[in-house]
Amino acid sequence: MLASAAAYEITWKKLPDDFVLDNEPVDNINQPVLAAALTESLELAGRLPASALTITNYGICATLNNKVVVKAPDWGFIPFIKVPREEVKRSYTPQLQGDFPVIVMEFLSDTEGGEYSSKPTYPPGKWFYYEQVLKVPNYAIFEPETGVLEVYRLDNSRQYQLQTPDENNRYWIAEMNLFLGIWQGSRENRTGYWLRWWDERGEQLLWGSELAEQERQRAERLAAQLRSLGVEPEA
């Protein structure tokens, strides 16, 4: 996948108000819940600053030789936007409106979405766009049914290289100071494989339901300790 963006003049312009975005629904019921789970744990762990933006099936724009290109990853993280959030309701243009994404993700489904497409001609493929135009440092491709996760990172030659997970089968995302990996379990009536975050100490970033269960267990232990001392805890 050695295509280059050199043939393009790349500019960063706001999406025209009359530009018609693709309004087709997501092609897999798992995509919204997988994306929501990634965002929720970041927010609850205090890892989602007010100036950051998480994107879910949401257009990232560039103008190539005066032609607008919009690609909508299934999930992505932008560390800082410099405009009011009202200005990025429809789409987001890096550099013009804030940082470039530090990671984008695609969740594979039965529909061929071109996640591996390095087609350089207009309109370019997703791989080419993320690698050569946006230069997103991390690109993750996840197969929810099998739990297979591929993480690619830009190397010194500005090409994506498949990364090898660590001994815990996780990938270090340096720009977020977090590990990304696979977890198997249940959430929102879905049992299967999920993408999860772990911090630099190896502690998993929890969802709200898990934090609530953790608190319930803590309260039960405290109540048991009080009863062992002959004190009936207040209801």
The token pair at 94 is 């890096």
E-strand ranges in the chain read 10-11, 53-55, 59-64, 67-71, 75-78, 91-92, 103-107, 138-143, 148-154, 160-162, 170-173, 178-187, 190-198
User: Above 80 in pLDDT, residue 104?
Assistant: yes
- In our burial notation (b when 16+ CB lie closer than 10 A, e otherwise), range 174-195 reads eebebbbbbeeeebeeeeebbb
Lowest mean pLDDT among 30-44, 84-98, 172-186, 210-224: 210-224
pLDDT surpasses 80 at 184 = yes
Residue 1, in any domain of the structure: no
Are both 76 and 190 inside the same structural domain?
yes
* Residue 212 shares a structural domain with residue 167: no
- Of the candidates 41, 2, 9, 37, the one whose C-alpha atom is nearest the C-alpha of residue 160 is 2
Please report the pLDDT score of residue 30 as a whole number: 86
13 vs 112, which has greater pLDDT? 13
Prediction pTM value: 0.90
1: confidence class by pLDDT, cuts 50, 70, 90: very low
Judging by beta carbons within 10 Å of its beta carbon (0-12, 13-18, 19+), is residue 95 exposed, middle or buried? middle
> Is 111's pLDDT higher than 70?
no
Domain shared by 74 and 118, yes or no:
yes
Amino acid at 79: P
| pLDDT given at position 169 | 97
Query: What range does the domain containing 47 cover?
Result: 10-204
Please indicate, yes or no, whether residues 154 and 75 belong to a single structural domain of this protein: yes
Q: What is the mean pLDDT of the chain?
A: 91
Residue 72 lies inside a defined structural domain of this protein: yes
User: What pLDDT score was predicted for residue 204?
Assistant: 98
Say whether pLDDT at 4 is over 80. no
- What are φ and ψ of residue 75, in 5° steps? -155, 150
Q: How many CB atoms lie within 10 A of CB 146?
A: 10
Residues 34 and 62 reside in one and the same domain: yes
pLDDT in tens, 30-72: 899 999 999 999 999 999 999 999 999 999 999 999 999 999 9
Give domain status of residue 175, yes or no. Answer: yes
